[in-house]
Chain A
Amino acid sequence: MKVQENAGLIYIKHEIATCERRIKRIKENPDPSKPQSNILLYEMERDFRIEQREACKTGKPVGIASMGGLTRAMGMVPWDAIMSADRTHGKAATQYFETIRKEGIPEHTCDRCSILIPMVQQGDFPKPQFTFMSNFECIPVLFAHAALCHTMDIPSFNIDIPIKSFKMDNDEEGLAYVVEQLREMVAYIEKTVPGTKYNEELLVELQEYDRQFLLEFRKLWKLKATIPCPLSGRESFREIRLPSMYPDPAKAVDYMRLYLKEIEERVEKGFSAAQPEEKLRLLWSVAGPFYDDPFSWLEQRGVSIPAAEMTVYNGWFSGREAMWGDPWPGRKLTPLEEEARQMDFVWGREGHYWVDTHLHSCRDLHLDGIIYFQQWGCPTSNSLGKVIADTAEKELGIPTLLIEGRMLESSMFDKKDFYGRLEEFTEICAAKKANRQTSP
């Protein structure tokens, strides 16, 4: 296995080319069924990768130190780590998995965490100058980063988050604990990574952009609740990148405002993502087979997917989880405390938060069922599927499909079996919905 000290850049080049192709297509022949604001999105994504490319060429440090804001505030260009691995679905992922199997890299762990390791070790993505480790989200992320840092001698620092959510419980002790670690990490980075220095003013500025972005997203949550749902499942499932990750955070806020306007227009026109008419509304949870398109398949059969349940997002969008700038009892949080608060992703904490977020989403968005994708190697979510299914049945009278699969590796994907199960589930949802509507 080749370990490259210098930036491989293959991945970055590929992403820039993809974005530029899409920008060109939108300019020359826009697809009226897709948001026109996508052009801004692809420009932002392209610029995000160009910034990484230029950083590698000029020696500016690339890394990830918790969220985008703090990373930039340290003077580093943010690296999206596992989110960059997400983009390899399909043929590239299959090739990485051949390497994974050959090299004995853990395979039965979250696909994005598995792929991250050969991606960097082969030099397809440049070796970052710093990578934090943390259980803020889940164990596979923590250990994928740990394995990468330990085998490639990448400076790293662990930020450990307690089991109970200090964000949800407004717990000062938990907050102070994480802040102390962040302070230690800042000192460590400044000492270890040349060219880094903590800039609190910049952090505050970026946190405000993230806040503005999420405030727009909260309006989108209400639009998602419209019947019929105006958003496609693919749009629901897109993992958002906060403004602080982009070189031009203001553009990201503008993008979200423009996108929101487009969705409002769809609602005014009575646009339905599900065709020919919306018969069912489902929540899709955890992850999905990104190398295929079950969302369009469902939409063609009258099933809309107003929301995806992934990590922290629905908590932010629904307003149930605090975002930057939201109140904290008795005082205003410092910038580092704001950052610490956002590292408390409830799905990485005790299970009841994760169960609750499903119920909230289903209630808010008037949903008829849950598709719970039990992703191979996701211990955080897998073993709560049945608890969620039982609770949703008991409290909301809606069924849940527990379906196993892989997110990025497609070689074992049995299309017939997968869509057969989806079909069965839609029949069940329809039968139960009809029963709910006719029951006294």
Chain B
Amino acid sequence: MINVGLDIGSQFVKTVVLKDRINVATCVDKLGSGSIETLVFDNYITALQKAGIEEKNVDYTVATGIGREFIGFADIQISEILCSTRGVNWLPPPTGFFLDMGMEKAIVVKNHDGKPFQSFRNDRCASGTGRYLDIAAKPLGLSVEEMGEVSLKSTKEISISSNCAVFAESEIISLIHQKEKTEDIVRAIFKSMASKVHSLILKMGNVKNLTMIGGFAKNVGLVKAIELEAGCEVIVPSIIDPQLVTALGAALIGSENEKTTASL
């Protein structure tokens, strides 16, 4: 049984290929200009090629993510929250909660046996999302990916007083002019973001540990900041790239589909 999950986000498309519910291939591509369906299809084919599977042998394809409505070749389109919860539920160790942080969103979800039972999202503000890191990285001359390791070298705690991502950029520039060290500034940025995430976790109630998924889960500095602010253990999946968990969940849901099981 071959099931494919496609997660089309605001910046990346992610594909997971399952063979008999075992992960055999993944593919992540950055979305650029051009038809989104074409880009996604190319990503999908690349993943299949990695797995040595022909497209005609795919049993069921599930598309999810904010761009899923453009993917006509998928068998079904399913909401992101269902797919990400399903994906998280499959990962060891089991946790009752997860944080999905992307470019445009930060969401904390309560996982009840693979079903979402409650969720809290960042409000319309960018300051708790990946977008904030994007804005903050520029004046520091760092890539977002570099920021994580850099922050671990920090020895001084400073804070950013602006709650708004746009005004925080001015503040960061001021800190640079005041000759504050890059690593200390980066740590302050992560602390500010972590505080917003902390609030979402608090809304959920008593959370001792949670799984973090999405691309920003790979940022060690951010993960550490969230653990410190929220006082809870943040588990980053090790058996699969955290950015792929939602696509994994989509593929898993596809594997439970009637059509698929009927074909067994």
A interface with B by C-beta (< 8 Å): 386, 393, 399, 402, 404-405, 412, 414, 416-417, 420-421, 423-425, 427-428, 431-432, 434-435
A393 to B82, CA, bound (A): 21
**A399 to B124, Cβ gap below 8 A?**
no
B207 smallest CB distance to A (angstroms): 15
A416 to B104, CA, bound (A): 11
B34 smallest CB distance to A (angstroms): 20
**B124 to A414, Cβ gap below 8 A?**
yes
With A386-B203, A404-B124, A417-B124 known as contacts, the answer to whether A427 contacts B116 (CB < 8 A) is: yes
**A428 to B81, Cβ gap below 8 A?**
yes
Instruction: Give the nearest-CB partner of B69 in chain A.
Output: A416
A416 to B8, CA, bound (A): 14
A264 smallest CB distance to B (angstroms): 36
Please indicate the chain B residues that have their CB under 8 angstroms from the CB of A402 in the complex: 120
Please indicate the chain A residues that have their CB under 8 angstroms from the CB of B66 in the complex: 416, 420
A393 to B118, CA, bound (A): 10
**B121 to A421, Cβ gap below 8 A?**
yes
A425 to B81, CA, bound (A): 9
Given A399-B117, A405-B124, A417-B104, 8 additional A-B pairs, CB 8 A: A402-B120, A414-B124, A417-B105, A420-B80, A424-B81, A427-B116, A431-B115, A435-B115
**B118 to A428, Cβ gap below 8 A?**
yes
A396 smallest CB distance to B (angstroms): 14
With A386-B203, A416-B66, A417-B104 known as contacts, the answer to whether A424 contacts B119 (CB < 8 A) is: yes
Q: Check B181 for interface membership: any CB of A closer than 8 A.
A: no
Please indicate the chain B residues that have their CB under 8 angstroms from the CB of A435 in the complex: 112, 115, 117
**A432 to B117, Cβ gap below 8 A?**
yes
A24 to B49, CA, bound (A): 62
With A417-B104, A420-B66 known as contacts, the answer to whether A428 contacts B124 (CB < 8 A) is: no
Q: Check B170 for interface membership: any CB of A closer than 8 A.
A: no
**B121 to A431, Cβ gap below 8 A?**
no
Please indicate the chain B residues that have their CB under 8 angstroms from the CB of A417 in the complex: 104-105, 124
**B79 to A428, Cβ gap below 8 A?**
no
**B79 to A423, Cβ gap below 8 A?**
yes
A431's partner among B104, B105, B112, B123 (CB-CB below 8 A) is: B112
**B124 to A412, Cβ gap below 8 A?**
yes
From A399, A417, A428, residue with most partner B Cβ within 10 Å? A428
Selected A-B contacts with CB under 8 Å, 12 pairs: A393-B118, A414-B124, A417-B104, A417-B124, A421-B121, A423-B81, A424-B116, A427-B81, A428-B117, A428-B119, A431-B117, A435-B112
Please indicate the chain A residues that have their CB under 8 angstroms from the CB of B80 in the complex: 420, 424
A417 to B121, CA, bound (A): 11
A17 smallest CB distance to B (angstroms): 35
A8 to B66, CA, bound (A): 46
Please indicate the chain B residues that have their CB under 8 angstroms from the CB of A420 in the complex: 66, 80
Please indicate the chain A residues that have their CB under 8 angstroms from the CB of B203 in the complex: 386
A416 to B65, CA, bound (A): 11
A332 to B115, CA, bound (A): 55
Instruction: Give the nearest-CB partner of A406 in chain B.
Output: B124
A393 to B105, CA, bound (A): 24
B157 smallest CB distance to A (angstroms): 30
**B79 to A424, Cβ gap below 8 A?**
yes
A352 smallest CB distance to B (angstroms): 21
A427 to B116, CA, bound (A): 7
A420 to B120, CA, bound (A): 13
B103 smallest CB distance to A (angstroms): 12
Q: Considering the complex, which residues of chain B in the window 70-118 have a beta carbon less than 8 Å from any beta carbon of chain A?
A: 79-82, 104-105, 107, 112, 115-118
From B66, B119, B124, residue with most partner A Cβ within 10 Å? B124
Please indicate the chain A residues that have their CB under 8 angstroms from the CB of B123 in the complex: 404
A205 to B26, CA, bound (A): 74
A159 to B242, CA, bound (A): 58
B111 smallest CB distance to A (angstroms): 10
